[in-house]
């Protein structure tokens, strides 16, 4: 691997005598890691090699399988995520009490790896907002959140500076800022080809702008997590130091076992591939020392669902009385946690380009048509009619092809397709016909080997 000359000089200055080991590590294969969904458990999990030291639900795989051909992946049983970046969860656990009801913002969220990481930390009284400024990336973010199944989420599409009305609203703000990508050179050679000293300067300036907006969102006593996948001081330590100079934040020191191989800096923590089994990553955690906490009140400006229809909806949810039900203008019904309706109302008023809660379906006349979001949500009732599919038929369902399983004995109506106890989506049995309600944009497009 031929590294850019200016980058090599930079890393020699940072690492000194460790530099040869660093270069050697870039020639090694990229580790493959998955993080299990602690709310969903497949009966036959992937064969794992060893656990990621800083995350109890994360594992290295001996080799990279074709994840597209594993129905459990589509059901949200696990997420394929780079190991170093999972350290965000450990940092948050040490910095704040996650057993409390928390309001959390992932400010630069797509494609959703760290967002689902956050979702696994939160209890059912917490609220998660996943924001992505690039519109074309919002779809994959929402898809990954739907798969993960945490019901209390909103996906938004805003620039960080458009959130002035949410000042002091969040207990946790994660800012995984766009960066020069130095830590991805082994994983993504394109990142190396795009690297330049000028691009580092551009990224540094952009990060400061995003950080300043992120800092505004944090409630006093709350935490701000700043991360990049790069090594240089301009984007990492110097930006972290700058934040403490321009805003009311103090660094949070973390307890890190020496065997984890993480390098502590004056501001933040650095991962190097020659010292940890993962890619290059940087994280700094700050606590807001003072400021105004937002105590805004709001009202959800959507039509409430009539009680007669709510009685129908209750059959589809595990704990239906913990939600309130609203109908969007397009007829889609959303379930919003009753304890969080004020928080949702504040967010709805402040964020104009966003989702509206857990979409559970819509009525067509007297018939209720459940949504795919509901099928994958952990809020779904556990006693709904379902059929366990073989792997072959599960993949056929995910390709929207005809199943080989005989469904002639199944009663007419809605039926959950399952694999290893995991919901994949809805089917409807109508006489001798089966309608597949998997969204067309979700279907597997690759050929499946015989």
- Cα torsion angle, 35, 36, 37, 42, sign: positive
Q: How far apart are CA 437 and CA 414, in angstroms?
A: 10
Below-70 pLDDT ranges, the chain: none
- Residue ranges for the binding site for S-adenosyl-L-methionine? 108-114, 132, 159, 176
> What is the pLDDT, as a whole number, of residue 309?
96
Q: Which of 335, 345, 415 is closest to 377 using CA atoms?
A: 335
> What is the pLDDT, as a whole number, of residue 155?
98
**Look-up: residue for tokens 């309608």?**
435
- Cα torsion angle, 177, 158, 350, 336, sign: negative
pLDDT digits (tens, 9 = 90+) for 21-55: 999 999 999 999 999 999 998 777 787 779 999 99
Q: From the candidates 179, 203, 204, 229, which is the catalytic residue?
A: 229
Q: Which of 62, 91, 67 is closest to 79 using CA atoms?
A: 67
SS (H, E, C) the chain: CCCCHHHHHHHHHHHHHHHHHHHHHCCCCCCEEEEECCCCCCCCCCCCCEECCCCCCEEEECCCCCHHHCHHHHCCCEEECCCHHHHHHHHHHHHCCCCCCCEEEECCCCCCHHHHHHHHHCCCCCEEEEECCCHHHHHHHHHHHHHHCCCCEEEECCCHHHCHHHCCCEEEEEEECCCCCHHHCCCCHHHHHCCCHHHHHHHHHHHHHHHHHHHHHEEEEEEEEEEECCCCCCCCHHHHHHHHHHCCEEECCCCCCHHHCCEECCCCEEECCCCCCCCCEEEEEEEECCCCCCCCCCCCCCEECCHHHHHHHHHHECCHHHEEEEECCCCCEEEEEHHHHHHHHHHHHHCCCECCCEEEEEEECCEEEECHHHHHCCCECCCCCEEECCHHHHHHHHCCCCCCCCCCCCCCEEEEEEECCEEEEEEEEECCEEEECCCHHHCCCCCCCC
CA atoms within 13 A on the CB side of 219: 15
> What is the pLDDT, as a whole number, of residue 322?
97
Q: Note if the bond before 111 is cis, omega within 30 degrees.
A: yes
Q: Is 225 a catalytic residue?
A: no
> What is the pLDDT, as a whole number, of residue 405?
80
> What is the pLDDT, as a whole number, of residue 152?
98
- Residue ranges for the binding site? 108-114, 132, 159, 176
> What is the pLDDT, as a whole number, of residue 296?
75
pLDDT digits (tens, 9 = 90+) for 82-117: 999 999 999 999 999 999 999 999 999 999 999 999
Is 339 exposed, middle or buried (CB count within 10 Å of its CB: 0-12, 13-18, 19+)? Answer: middle
> What is the pLDDT, as a whole number, of residue 298?
84
Do the beta carbons of residue 343 and residue 127 sit within 8 Å? yes
Do the beta carbons of residue 111 and residue 146 sit within 8 Å? no
Per-residue tokens: 389: 């599919």
> What is the pLDDT, as a whole number, of residue 88?
98
**Look-up: residue for tokens 């458009």?**
162
Q: How far apart are CA 175 and CA 215, in angstroms?
A: 10
Q: Which residues contact 380 (CB under 8 A, 6 or more apart)?
A: 316, 317, 318, 374, 423
Q: How far apart are CA 70 and CA 146, in angstroms?
A: 17
- Rounded to the nearest 10°, the torsion over CA 415, 39, 158, 279 is -120
Q: How far apart are CA 71 and CA 46, in angstroms?
A: 11
> What is the pLDDT, as a whole number, of residue 379?
98
pTM, two decimals, is 0.96
């Amino acid at each position: 691997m031929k590294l850019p000359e200016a980058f090599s000089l930079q890393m020699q200055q940072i690492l000194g005598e460790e530099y040869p080991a660093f270069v050697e590590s870039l020639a090694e294969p990229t580790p493959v890691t998955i993080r299990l969904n602690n709310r969903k458990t497949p009966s036959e999990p992937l064969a794992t090699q060893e656990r990621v030291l800083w995350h109890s639900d994360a594992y290295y795989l001996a080799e990279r399988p074709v994840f597209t051909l594993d129905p459990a992946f589509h059901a949200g049983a696990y997420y394929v995520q780079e190991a170093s970046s999972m350290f965000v969860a450990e940092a948050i656990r040490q910095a704040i009490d996650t057993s409390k009801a928390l309001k959390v913002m992932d400010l630069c969220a797509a494609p959703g790896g760290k967002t689902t990481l956050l979702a696994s930390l939160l209890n059912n009284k917490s609220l998660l907002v996943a924001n992505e400024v690039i519109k074309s990336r919002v779809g994959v973010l929402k898809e990954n959140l739907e798969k993960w199944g945490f019901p209390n989420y909103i996906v938004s599409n805003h620039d960080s500076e458009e959130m002035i009305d949410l000042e002091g609203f969040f207990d946790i703000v994660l800012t995984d800022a766009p960066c020069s990508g130095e830590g991805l050179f082994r994983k993504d050679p394109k990142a190396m080809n795009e690297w330049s000293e000028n691009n580092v300067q551009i990224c540094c300036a952009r990060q400061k702008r995003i950080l300043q907006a992120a800092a505004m969102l944090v409630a006093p006593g709350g935490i701000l997590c700043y991360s990049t996948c790069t090594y240089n001081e301009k984007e990492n330590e110097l930006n972290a130091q700058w934040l403490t100079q321009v805003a009311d934040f103090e660094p949070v020191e973390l307890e890190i076992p020496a065997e984890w191989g993480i390098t502590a800096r004056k501001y933040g923590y650095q991962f190097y591939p020659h010292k940890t089994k993962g890619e290059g990553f940087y994280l700094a955690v700050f606590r807001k020392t003072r400021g105004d906490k937002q105590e805004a009140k709001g009202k959800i400006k959507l039509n409430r669902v009539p009680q007669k229809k709510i009685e129908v909806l209750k059959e589809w949810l595990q704990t239906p009385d913990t939600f309130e039900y609203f109908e969007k203008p397009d007829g889609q019904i959303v379930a919003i946690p009753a304890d969080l309706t004020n928080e949702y109302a504040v967010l709805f008023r402040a964020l104009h380009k966003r989702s509206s809660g857990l979409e559970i379906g819509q009525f067509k006349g007297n018939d209720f048509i459940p949504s795919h979001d509901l099928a994958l949500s952990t809020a779904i009732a556990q006693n709904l009619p379902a059929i366990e599919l073989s792997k072959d038929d599960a993949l056929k369902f995910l390709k929207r092809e005809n199943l080989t399983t005989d469904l002639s004995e199944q009663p007419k109506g809605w039926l959950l397709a399952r694999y290893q106890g995991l919901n994949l989506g809805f089917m409807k049995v109508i006489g001798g016909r089966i309608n597949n309600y998997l969204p067309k944009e979700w279907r597997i497009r690759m050929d499946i080997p015989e």
